[in-house]
Homo-oligomer: A and B are copies of this chain.
Amino acid sequence: MEPPKSRAPNIRDVARLAGVSYQTVSRVLNDAPSIRPSTRARVLEMIEKTGYRPNQAARALVTSKSRTIGVLMAQTANYGPTTSLHGIEDAARDAGYFVTTMTLHKPDVESIKAGLEHLTGQAIEGLVVIAPQVRVFDAFRKLDLSIPIVTLDSTAGHGPRSLSVDQIAGAKLATRHLIDLGHTEIVHLAGPQDWIEAEARMTGFLEAVGEADLRTHPPFLGDWTADFGYRAGWELTRFRDFTAVFAGNDQMALGLIHAFRAGGLDVPGDVSVVGFDDIPEARHFWPPLTTVHQNFAELGRRSVALLLGEVGGDGGTEQEQILPELRVRESTAPPRAQR
């Protein structure tokens, strides 16, 4: 039994016990070449015996590498960002990195600057951003920090490196599905105006509608929540000049359907609804929701790969895109007139 009061063992303690110099212990730790197997074994044994753990702070001080990745994310409990975060942590840990997260209360430049200072104070080696608000990117452009950054869930052209599920393609997929069913009056319930994803989905929607030469309804600008979808649904029910709605995400779709049903509209009988994200619950909504699936965890994992690749070598601007998939379920059907 060790006296519990004493400080943690350091590299010199281990060295003394193993009868070698501290540098030799350091070599074993960083598995450098030219170490006699017997020496390595002895050192390893003493490390085990003393319960020695290298002090990360000291390491970071001398190497100025913290082996930490920062994640800046919007404060949302939504499925997508959260799942991506888990993907990031998975990949980071596999690569021996730590993950320090930082949530943003509000997307204003002030908060972002504060968050970033907090994070860079930690000497992070790279940053993943899962807060795809336009304002966040504007803030970044002003700050130009010197570490590699990868942005998630955004579309091309906004950051130095970005990785995303192709939101425009996904939105087109969803909209064309409605058009193919025979719908001509389609409303889009969009996400918050300053979210890049929302913008991209809107773009995809408008492109698809434009290509089919349909009337363009003014979009609703929401906030991603089911509550908002519900309120929007009430508004929409008053007009009834549409037969289908493309919702910016599954939660808003859920609220919409709720309001439609409360207002006496049948889904998909009177109106078809498509969502976006394919959260695990979407298939159990009533009716099961037709939506666009994206692989968030994969996104997170690949963002780390991209980041760590950049930490080493460096290339130019790169953008990777993952293709989303349409999942047709029971919330969509041909409009009444067709049937």
Interface string of A243-274 (1 = CB under 8 A from B): 00000000100110110010000000000000
Closest 3 CB pairs of A and B: A57-B60, A258-B284, A57-B61
Within 8 Å CB of A13, what residues of B? none
Once the chains bind, are B284 and A281 in contact (CB under 8 Å)? no
Consensus secondary structure, chain A interface? helix
User: Does A121 lie at the interface of the complex (its beta carbon under 8 Å from any beta carbon of B)?
Assistant: yes
User: Does A280 lie at the interface of the complex (its beta carbon under 8 Å from any beta carbon of B)?
Assistant: yes
Closest to A252 in B: B284
Once the chains bind, are A229 and B55 in contact (CB under 8 Å)? no
Binding site for B on A (CB under 8 A): 53-58, 60-61, 64, 66, 68, 75, 77, 79, 82-83, 85-86, 89-90, 93, 98-103, 105, 117-118, 120-123, 225-227, 229-230, 251, 254-255, 257-258, 261, 280-281, 283-286, 288
Tell me how many chains of this kind the complex includes. Answer: 2
Q: How far is the CA of A265 from the CA of B338 in the complex (A)?
A: 31
A172 to chain B, nearest CB (A): 26
Once the chains bind, are A101 and B101 in contact (CB under 8 Å)? yes
Within 8 Å CB of A123, what residues of B? 55-57
Which listed residue, B61, B82, B102, B286, touches A82 by the CB 8 Å rule? B82
Once the chains bind, are A86 and B77 in contact (CB under 8 Å)? yes
